[in-house]
Amino acid sequence: MSEQQFTPRVFSGIQPSGGLTLGNYLGAIKRFVDMQNEGSFETVYCMVDLHAITTWQDPKDLAHNTRELAAGFIASGISPEKSILINQSQVPEHAQLAWIFNCVARMGWMQRMTQFKDKAGKNAQNVSLGLFGYPALMAADILIYHATHVPVGDDQKQHLELTRDIAIKFNHDFGVDFFPVIEPVIEGAATRVMSLRDGTKKMSKSDPSDASRINMTDDADTIAKKIRKAKTDPDALPSEAAGLEDRPDARNLVNIWAALADISVDDVLKEVGGLQFGAFKPMLADLAVEKLAPIAGEMARLMADPAEIDRILAHGAGQAREITAPILAKTYEIVGMVK
Ligand code: TRP
C-alpha cells in the first residue's frame, strides 16, 4: 500500500505499572533482545509511563517501577549501545502526536476496544479519559518513529489494527503517504506465560497472589519454591504436545521450560515425557534459577545506582528525539499548523 520506503524499525513498550514478571520476560523482552541482536532492524524500546497513569499510580511507585523496568531491560540483554531505550514521557513527541491522533480516531473505534471494555468494566463513566484514549497514544508511540515492526502479545492485536486504521485515515484525510501501515509481530503460543495458580489466566503483576507469578527480582529460593508449589494435575507428563491440550497448568510449565531453554515443546517432552510432576518440578526450578538468577542479580546491581539508569534514559531520549522531532514537524506541516 505504501510507496514510500521505510527504514526497518522495531518499536515496543511495556507499562511500568508494577514489577516485572517472567511473563514480561518470556513473552516480550526476550524477543526484544533477539530482534536487537538480529541486526536487520533499528530497535526502540520504551517504558510507557504515560500509559501507566491511565490508571492511578502512586508517584513514588511509578518512578521506582520505571527505573526497575529499565534495569530489567538492560539486565536481560537490551544494550543501550544497540537499541534506543527510553522512558515515554521524556520524548514529548509521543504525547504531541497522540493529540493529533485523538482528532483522527473516531469515538466508535475506541468504544470497540475489548481491552478498554475489560479494564473499565461496569465503571465506564468513571474511568479516566486517558484510558479511553489509550490506543491513540499507543498508535502515536509507534508511528512517531515510522516503526515498521511491533512485537506484542496477542492481547494487543486489536490496538495494532487500530494503529493501522489511524495511519490509513490520516494518510487518506490529508492526501499523503506519510505514515506506514504496520505489520504486527504476534508472539508464538509458547511464550504466553500463565499464572502458576491457574493455567487459564495470564501471569500478571496485578494478581493479588504473589505465588501466581515469578518476579524478575525473585531470588533463587523464591523461584524454586514458587515452581514447587505451582498448580498441576495428578497425571504424568505426555510425550507429545497434543497430550497437553486440556491440561492448562501442565502446559504452562512445559511452555515455560521450552521458552527458557529456547527449544520446542516437543523437544521438552522428548526429554521429560512420562515423568511425574514431583520429578519434573525440581528440574524446571533448576533451569529457571540458572536462567533468571543472573538477571535478578544484574537488576539489583543496576538499581543500586539509579543515577546511572537516569543517565542511560536521558541519552536514549536524545537519540529518540533525532527521529521523532522531524516526524512531528512534518506531521504539523501536513496538518497545516503554522510554525
Ligand atoms: N499497550 C501495551 C501493553 O499493555 C504497551 C504499549 C504501549 C505498547 N505503547 C506501545 C506496545 C507501543 C507496543 C507498541 O502491552
pLDDT single digits (tens) 205-250: 889 999 999 999 999 999 999 999 999 999 999 999 999 999 999 9
- Three-class DSSP category at 262: coil
The Å distance, Cα 94 to ligand 1 centre, comes to 13
C-alpha cell at 111: 468504544
Tracing cell 511491533 back to the chain, one arrives at 150
Cα-Cα-Cα-Cα torsion 201, 206, 211, 215, nearest 10 degrees, comes to 110
Q: Given the CA of residue 138, which atom of ligand 1 is nearest to it?
A: 9
Pocket of ligand 1 (CB under 6 A): 11-13, 15, 48, 51, 138, 141-142, 150, 152, 156, 159
- pLDDT for position 189: 45
Can you tell me the distance from the alpha carbon of 309 to that of 150, in angstroms, rounded to the nearest whole number?
Answer: 25
Q: What is the mean pLDDT of residues 318-336?
A: 98
- pLDDT for position 188: 55
Encode burial over 181-197: b for 16+ CB neighbours within 10 A, e otherwise. bbebeebeebbbbbbbb
- pLDDT for position 300: 97
Share of the chain above pLDDT 90, in %: 90
Q: Given the CA of residue 153, which atom of ligand 1 is nearest to it?
A: 15
The Å distance, Cα 48 to ligand 1 centre, comes to 7
Nearest alpha-carbon partner for 252 in 281, 223, 282: 281
192 confidence band (pLDDT: 50, 70, 90) = confident
Residue nearest to atom 8 of ligand 1 (CA): 13
Dihedral of alpha carbons 291, 294, 298, 300, sign: positive
- pLDDT for position 3: 54
Q: Which residues are catalytic?
A: 119, 202, 205
Least-confidence region, from 15-29, 144-158, 188-202, 249-263:
188-202
Q: Taking the CA of residue 174 as centre, how many other CA atoms within 13 Å lie in the half-sphere pointing to its CB?
A: 21
Strand partners, 202: 194
Task: Using the predicted structure, report yes or no on whether residue 190 has a pLDDT greater than 80.
Answer: no
What is the end-to-end Cα distance of the chain in Å, rounded? Answer: 31
Task: Using the predicted structure, report yes or no on whether residue 2 has a pLDDT greater than 90.
Answer: no
Can you tell me the distance from the alpha carbon of 191 to that of 41, in angstroms, rounded to the nearest whole number?
Answer: 22
Task: Using the predicted structure, report yes or no on whether residue 265 has a pLDDT greater than 80.
Answer: yes
Q: Convert the pLDDT of each residue in 47-81 to its tens digit.
A: 999 999 999 999 999 999 999 999 999 999 999 99
Q: Do residues 169 and 104 touch, judged by C-beta distance below 8 A?
A: yes
The Å distance, Cα 13 to ligand 1 centre, comes to 5
Residue nearest to atom 9 of ligand 1 (CA): 138
Instruction: Determine how β-strand 42-47 pairs with β-strand 183-186.
Output: unpaired
